[in-house]
Amino acid sequence: MRGSCPPRHTRDRAVCMTNCPTLIVTVGLPARGKTYISKKLTRYLNWIGVPTKEFNVGQYRRECVKIYKSFEFFSPDNEEGLKIRRHCAMAALNDVRQYLSVEGGQVAVFDATNTTRERRETIVKFAEQNGFKVFFVESVCEDPDVIAQNIVQVKLGSPDYIHCNTEEAIEDFMKRIKCYESSYQPLDENLDRDLSFIKIMDVGRRYLVNRVDHMQSRIVYYLMNIHITPRSIYLCRHGESDLNIKGRIGGDSGLSARGKEFARSLRKYIQDQKIKDLKVWTSQMKRTIQTAECLGVPYEQWKSLNEIDAGVCEEMMYEEIQEHYPLEFALRDQDKYRYRYPKGESYEDLVQRLEPVIMELERQENILVICHQAVMRCLLAYFLDKTADELPYLKCPLHTVLKLTPLAYGCKVESIYLGVDAVNTHRDRPECSVCTSLLKQAWQTSLIHSFSSYRTENIKKSRYVEESPIKSPPASDL
């Protein structure tokens, strides 16, 4: 039934944030950052739990036409080229239908130029026939420096130009843009007033937003926060803590002697990098604050960056959790991302808590985030486009800095170990057979405990009945 999320197995369920599936459609000339926007948006929506997939029509065209010859393929006078491009667009839309109607997707991103009103009307009709909402994202840019930078950074690495030298590739691509300019019809606030869209002008200097619903407003807010300024994001955990040494999770202990040594090493590393206008963020927990204090620079505390709340298991060792809460221990190993500690949080909860942090990270330039293992995993999963299944097992060792440098279509990661020993707090993913066995044992133990409690309670009740027989009412009451 259209308008509701399809049923899912518990382990595969997703957060349903849309009344009906949404089709995001990019609009704009080549080299305007449409694919950059598509990829970032897809990554963000998947990270917050909205199943999203990108459909790049250029990829369909490359699969259809194995060898790219020149810009003439895109000429409005090239009937054969137009026929192939229409075929590729329809093939992509058919896959969109399959994804949103059959496979349980909630958002599809249709990444193409879509520069004519006729093409956009075709897409709107397609969406209406299938019960999808449509949201257009147009990128308009007239800055020649930005366009040139995009061509050099992205387009020259395209399979289309793998056998061309730089000058030939740039010349051909500029002519390709000219092919689209003659027929380009931008979104118009009067002519297209009934459509839902955001118009991004000159890489975020100005925006025009028209008719958005709740889901689309979240997309708009995200798009208004991203930028293309070169920068680096440094992620690290606090220095080793006293509870780390004892093998206990959570808590709010201070740094160990080695943790303090790491903080001093971190200060030297940051000073040696000579990072321009570096900002430092920490959680509100002692161990991150003590680490930041050693840097000798201003820092900002975020409650959202606090470690995952382990609830009743705070400050316990994993062996103790397995002993005292065998069922909880087994359930967590079975689905670590969605498992919620009793009176605590899950990784899924943590991702929702960290969404404002991601928004602000996208707005910032150079920044150092001193955080915790679970928090760092969530942040890393966003930048590296990791799935919910992979996220809880990402390795984030103590006393190691991860330098993330966002690129056009991804993120470069450098791992810098600062040479101070620390305990290993990482737990590898258990094998499925081990999980199943532990879960069975835990259920049996739980049932035995429940039966034992039930018998004890019943014995107490029967003793009470024997010791307190029902008395006959006084004769006057009969």
Residue 176, C-beta contacts closer than 8 angstroms, at least 6 positions apart:
30, 71, 74
- The answer to whether 342 touches 208, Cβ cutoff 8 Å, is no
- The answer to whether 372 touches 237, Cβ cutoff 8 Å, is yes
Would you tell me how many other CB atoms lie within 10 Å of the CB of residue 88?
20
Active site annotation includes 16: no
Residues 220, 304: Cα–Cα separation, whole Å: 22
Residues 303, 292: Cα–Cα separation, whole Å: 15
**In the beta sheet, which residues pair with residue 248?**
317
**In the beta sheet, which residues pair with residue 199?**
138, 208
* Catalytic pick among 160, 261, 307, 309: 307
Residue 449, C-beta contacts closer than 8 angstroms, at least 6 positions apart:
none
Active site annotation includes 111: yes
**Tokens 């709340």, residue located:** 309
**Strand pairing report for 300-301 and 206-210:** unpaired
Alpha helices in 102-143 (DSSP H): 117-130
Short-list 117, 114, 121, 102, CA closest to 21 = 102
* Catalytic pick among 138, 238, 240, 313: 238
DSSP string, 374-403: HHHHHHHHHHHT--TTTGGG----TTEEEE
Short-list 393, 401, 397, CA closest to 424 = 397
Short-list 341, 339, 325, CA closest to 438 = 325
CA-derived radius of gyration, the chain: 29
Residue 192, C-beta contacts closer than 8 angstroms, at least 6 positions apart:
136, 210
Would you tell me how many other CB atoms lie within 10 Å of the CB of residue 455?
10
- The answer to whether 338 touches 391, Cβ cutoff 8 Å, is no
Residues 252, 28: Cα–Cα separation, whole Å: 51
* Catalytic pick among 54, 88, 138, 141: 141
* Catalytic pick among 54, 88, 111, 372: 111
Active site annotation includes 141: yes
Active site annotation includes 324: no
Instruction: Supply the residues annotated as catalytic.
Output: 111, 141, 238, 307
